Amino acid sequence: MLGLGLGPYVLIVLYLALIAGALVSIVRMPAVGLFVLIPLIPNQTVRYKLHEMPYGAQLVDFVLIAVAIGVILKGNTLFSKASFRVPIFALWALTFVTLWTGSLLNDFPLPLAEGDERFSNWKNYARIFLIPFLAMGAIRTRKQMFIAIALMCVGLAWSDRGFLFSLRGRSFTNFSYGLRDMGTMPIAGENGVAAFFAQMSVFLFGFAATRKFLERQALTLLAIVTTVCVVFTFSRGAYVALAVSFLLVCLLKRRMLLVVTAGGLIAGLAGGYALVPGAVIQRVTMLHTSDGSLESSAAGRMHMWDLALDMFMSNPLFGSGFDTFRLLAGYGGLHDTHNYYLKLLAEMGILGLLVYLALLAAAIWSCWRLFRDAGDDRMLSGLAVGGLGYMVCVAILNVFGDRWSFFEITGYTCIILGMVARGNQLLEAPEQDTELAGEEEDDEAEDAAAEEAGEESGAATGEAVNSITGRRMLSAG
């Protein structure tokens, strides 16, 4: 880790920090557990190294449970009213029911059997969607929201670093699948890490829109670095999702950035793609082979989509069961639908798709509502713009694969969703925020200080001018 031989010591510090964060969450401040966990969420390789420690594999669960206990002990409602509450409850219920129907329909072991993989996958899936409620109940103030986002930037920067280091020494003149890298997400894979980078890039572009100058430049720089990472993931789905959601964010709050980006693209085109590596151009344009047929990756996806639709038609209401497609279908080494909407239809039927669409719609509506009502509130307005672009990006990314079932990808999605819901609560009942106007008061104080300094400077300048003028008159006399 960092090439200094400090890896074992860093892991010990992280392990103790998670334990301490869990304890502080229970006895004093629930947000602390989330704060400690946030930088580790996208860094799966680091989290898995903690499994070597006592109960390391269960440490994330312990932290989340501790945060939940802390929220309750603080007198806050764990499952507060929010636009996503009913869809998440429905998702939990439906996935559990179809977990059982999947065993019964396909002669799989019952999901409560010792070490059952499908039950473990369901538990991990359900755990993800506890996070919005924890974030809403634990991250209560604007200051805490800013700290959470700053820590998300730390986790993202660490993922960027690991990914960019993996590119060293490679030639990007021509595309090959060997150029692709999973970064810090070996389970989510190359397309998973691309989705994460795309989501966070557009969020930072949006959130930065309302920040002060230095913060805006720092956030934009991190977003640009992350966009470079997206480019070198060679994920065409991530390219599309980032482009559309970036356009949305720019139209909402950053039109000048859109002008600069358009200028850069025009310059690149005029330069004959000189600014874009040949491997990237080949990846984008390699949809068909020389004889006009689909290239192998696209052809494989189309075949998996057909298998998913066939499975849906066999059980249109409840599908074949939660986490069954990978066990029942396959083609050329592929075992995923490469389209989450079709995966929902195949595994949980029309009900599963409707529940997921309701959750997506609730997330987008919550962000739009916050954007509409936040006004001049820089923290909440920036959160709303970034969140809106983020959720639209998520919706598009899942057309190209399952970018929803992985803790390292969706963890930040759920934290942002919880903070957006909390932001809407603050606008409805501002007295709930003990630091309600802290940021605004700081701005007013800075403006007042600047105005006072300006007046003093003006007075001093006037005195100096009078003094000089008087000396010149005496000299002339």
Listed residue (424, 419, 435) closest to 372, CA to CA: 424
Distance, CA of 445 to CA of 189 (rounded, Å): 48
Q: Are 78 and 71 in contact (CB under 8 A)?
A: yes
For the CA atoms of 20, 26, 31, 37, the dihedral, rounded to the nearest 10 degrees, stands at 40
Give CB contacts under 8 A, 24+ apart, made by 312-317.
312/342, 312/345, 312/346, 312/349, 315/105, 315/349, 316/349, 316/350, 317/349, 317/350, 317/351
Confidence (pLDDT) at 4: 53
**Least confident residue range of 159-173, 213-227, 322-336:** 322-336
Q: What is the pLDDT of residues 59-106, one digit of tens each?
A: 999 999 999 999 999 999 999 999 999 999 999 999 999 999 999 999
pTM for this entry: 0.87
Q: What is the pLDDT of residues 431-455, one digit of tens each?
A: 666 554 444 444 444 444 444 444 4
Confidence (pLDDT) at 255: 81
Phi, psi for residue 211 in degrees, rounded to 5: -85, 170
DSSP states along 149-174: HHHHHHHHHHHHHHHHHHTTT---SS
Listed residue (409, 401, 396) closest to 241, CA to CA: 396
Q: What is the 3-state secondary structure (H, E, C) of 230-275?
A: HHCCCCHHHHHHHHHHHHHHHHHCCHHHHHHHHHHHHHHHHCCCCC
Q: What is the pLDDT of residues 101-116, one digit of tens each?
A: 999 999 998 998 767 8
What pLDDT band is residue 203 in, cutting at 50, 70 and 90?
very high
DSSP states along 414-446: HHHHHHHHHHHHHHH-GGG-TTTTHHHHHHHHH
DSSP H or E segment with residue 340: helix 340-374
